[in-house]
Structure 1
Amino acid sequence: MTKTAWVFPGQGSQAIGMGADLYEFPEAQSKFEQAEQILGWSVPAVCQDEGDKVSKTLYTQPCLYVIESILADLMWEQGQRPELMTGHSLGEFVALYAAKVFDFETGLRLVKRRAELMDAASEGIMAALLGFDRDQLEQQISQTPDVVLANDNNAGQVVISGTEAAVESVLANVKSRRAVKLNVSGAFHSPLMSAAATEFQQALEAITFRAAHVPILSNVDPTPVTEGIVLKDRLIRQMTGSVRWREITLQLADKGIDRIIEIGPGKVLTGIIRRTCPDIALENVSSLAEIPGREDS
């Protein structure tokens, strides 16, 4: 019997026009309307903005959350049932919603606050490295204050985060096939986000996390759990902690997962996962037409 995991992408997967076939879909209308009341702006309008408004953190995170949540709802309605769930950074919020840890509105209000805090962050930078020597990278990070491994995506792709001087120092001393500074407002998933994380914790503490209907692997701890209090504690640590995606992928394989469905725009996560676990079957659901079991798919 096939064992399936759902994974939800985060910032970096957004694209102009994403979710377009959902905008006029009756079953999605209530979510878009509810989101507009909470956000004060229209998700479809932002996603269709030709000036790439959707790539500004303030808008990216809520838009991804809303569209991925709608797709997850439609997956449930078609009788799809995963054994495990996880999400990359922002995607973890969608996993929590999809697993019934909190309702749509609660999750969106949390994401809205998170996006505001992260958009306002101005200290530090992030950079992606591809094709590098991991031992050399880890040695440089350990020897350089104010820089951390922010995203450990797979053996050949990571993101570092920290002060500009620290990140520049690591880039100068680690040989890599490619190094790219990311267009983000601050040093996400690093101690430089501590002030924002403290503010966000206040919002989180007011929310009750229910037990997940499906075990979730968190970014800061890749072991699957369902207990709401544990998932909440892990989410509190997420803004300053590393996204341990390589370990998450290995855990999925260890738990017998042989099929992974990436639910959301693009194919970023399936590309990353393929490098770590090439034998796992990978699928994408980024539109209405790609939902298994739908008559119009």
Structure 2
Amino acid sequence: MTLLKTLPKSKRATVWVFPGQGSQKLGMGLDLQKFPLGKLRLQQAEDLLGWSISDVWQSENTKLSNTQYTQPCLYVFMTLLADLMKQSGYGPDLVTGYSFGEYVALYTAGAYDFETGLKLIKKRAEIMSRLPQGSMATLIGFEVDKLREEVFKTSDVWLANDDTKYAVISGTSQGIASILSNVPVERVIPLEVSAAFHTPLVEPAAKEFQAVLETTSFDALSIPVLSSTNFVFSLSINQVKESLVQQISQSVKWQMISKTLINQGVRKAIQIGCGQGLLKPMKNLAPELEISNVGSTADIDSLVIRDQLKKLFMLNSEAIKR
């Protein structure tokens, strides 16, 4: 097993991070359909899945929040953005993902091709869609100790992340309602999910999916992937597969992941997908960190223009010095 415990700061400066389920937005990916690669991938996905990704992207919000559809939609969306970024001359030194986002990180690192990854996601989504109904919610503005105390006392509710500012609770709808009735919270944001992910309630799905992973061949990784469960930079396929099983029922410790990235010399972070939710904790830890979000082809164009202007400015500065 090959583990990279440290990253050379001069060579491992840029990380691409990929958000998980709940980050989906109605209308995402519509601009990708006009590109040849987008058309190809959407047709490949429809042939494999038996339904249209673009239709769900565009107008079917109920389906988009259903696990069986959410995960393939996010996979196609984010892998397309990652490939278009590479076509524009960009590439990460390492990758990581929040829960489901780890699968897109692995695709970006070369663990499997598009169709192999989509088959894996299809099976994962089918398994998880059979789970009992559950709920998840992000809480903003609360007393940390009070929340932890109530979660500890309440059955069938767990903290699904390690953020003390934006806590995520996961469990049964009744359990979450009990928490919200006992803990004053400034803002509650229900997540568009259909089960209580990152809790013991989904362990049966993790065990079933483990068998699927064991029969799926992965290619050698071209760049390190930061594991979301043990926080090591890995090039080991066995280590990666173990993490994919564990992360289904374990809480997501994004604060710890962020600290690991910053401590190991990451100086630039790009979130591929909707929003900047993964970048904010990193920026709070390291205000000097350069962050960008790529959620559309327009964002890629803006990134290219910005970097071209930066290079032009540097060239002009060097010319003036001479």
Report the TM-score, using the length of structure 1 for normalisation: 0.89
Give the Cα separation in 2 of the matches to 1:277 and 1:77: 29
Tell me the distance in 1 between the aligned counterparts of 2:194 and 2:124: 13
Q: Deviations over 1:223-257 (max 9, x none)?
A: 22111100100001111111111111111111111
SS of structure 2 residue aligned to 1:46 = helix
The runs of at least 4 aligned residues of structure 1 exceeding 6 Å deviation read: none
> Is 1:137 matched up with 2:136?
no
SS at match of 2:128: helix
Is the aligned partner of 1:44 residue 2:82? no
Which residue identity is paired with 1:14?
Answer: Q
Distance 1:61 1:193 in 2: 16
Deviation at 1:283, TM superposition (A): 0.3
Match in the other structure for 1:227: 236
**1:137–1:104 CA distance, 2 compared to 1 (3 A):** same
- The answer on whether the counterparts of 2:141 and 2:187 sit within 8 Å (CA) in structure 1 is yes
Q: Deviations over 1:120-147 (max 9, x none)?
A: 3224332321122333333333343432
Cα distance in 2 for residues equivalent to 1:132 and 1:64: 31
SS at match of 2:202: helix
Structure 1 residues 78 and 129, CA, compared in 2 at 3 Å: closer, same or farther? Answer: same
Alpha-carbon shift at residue 89 of structure 1 (Å)? 1.6
Q: Structure 1 residue aligned with 2:297, among 285, 288, 291? A: 288
Q: How many residues align?
A: 295
Equivalent residue, structure 2, for 1:98: 108
Q: Does the alignment pair 1:197 with 2:188?
A: no
- Please tell me whether residue 214 in structure 1 is matched to residue 214 in structure 2: no
Gap runs ≥5 in structure 1: none
**Gap change, CA 1:123 and 1:45, over 3 Å in 2:** closer
2:95 corresponds, among 79, 85, 101, to: 85
Is 1:172–2:215 an aligned residue pair? no
Separation (CA, whole Å) in 1 of partners of 2:277 and 2:69: 19
Q: Which residue pairs with 1:260 in the alignment? A: 269
Inter-partner Cα distance in structure 2 for 1:124 and 1:45 = 26
- The residue type paired with residue 261 of structure 1 is I
Contact preservation (8 Å) 2:228, 2:253: yes
State which of 101, 108, 115 in structure 1 corresponds to 2:118.
108
The letter for the 2-side match of 1:139 is: E
Q: Using the TM superposition, name which of 25-34 and 237-246 deviates more.
A: 25-34
The percentage of counterpart residues that share the same residue type is 45
- 3-state SS of paired residue (1:151): coil
Deviation at 1:51, TM superposition (A): 4.8
Asked if structure 1 preserves the Cα contact closer than 8 Å seen for 2:134 and 2:196, the reply is yes
Question: Counterpart of 1:16?
Answer: 26
Find the counterpart in structure 2 of residue 150 from structure 1. Answer: 160
Shift of 1:181: 4.0
Distance 2:284 2:276 in 1: 13
1:31 corresponds, among 34, 38, 41, to 41
* Higher fraction of helix: 2
Shift of 1:293: 3.9
SS of alignment partner, residue 23 of structure 1: helix
Q: Does 1:162 align with 2:189?
A: no
Measure, in 2, the Cα distance between the counterparts of 1:262 and 1:206.
30
Deviation of residue 48 (structure 1)? Answer: 1.3
Distance in 1 of aligned mates of 2:228 and 2:73: 20
SS of equivalent to 1:282: strand
What displacement does 1:80 show? 1.8
Which AA in structure 2 matches 1:104?
Answer: F
Deviations, residues 15-53 of structure 1 (Å, cap 9, x unaligned): 222112210201222222211111111211221125554
- Residues 250, 277 of structure 1: 8 Å contact kept: no
- TM-score of the pair, normalised by structure 2: 0.83
1:54 corresponds to which of 45, 52, 64: 64
- Structure-1 separation of matches of 2:239 and 2:217: 12
**Compared with structure 1, are the counterparts of its residues 278 and 117 closer, same or farther at alpha carbon in structure 2 (3 Å cutoff)?**
farther
* Greater Cα shift, 231-240 or 82-91: 82-91
Q: Distance in 1 between matches of 2:196 and 2:164?
A: 22
**1:117: which partner in 2?**
127
* Stretches of structure 2 lacking an aligned partner (at least 5 in a row): 1-9, 309-322
Distance apart, 1:109 and its partner CA: 1.2
CA-to-partner distance for each residue in 1:185-208, whole Å, 9 max, x for gaps? 221111101222222122111112
d(CA) in 2 for partners of 1:181 and 1:55? 12
Give the greater-gyration-radius structure (CA). 2
Instruction: Provide closer, same or farther for how the CA distance between residues 193 and 52 of structure 1 changes in structure 2, counting only shifts above 3 A.
Output: closer
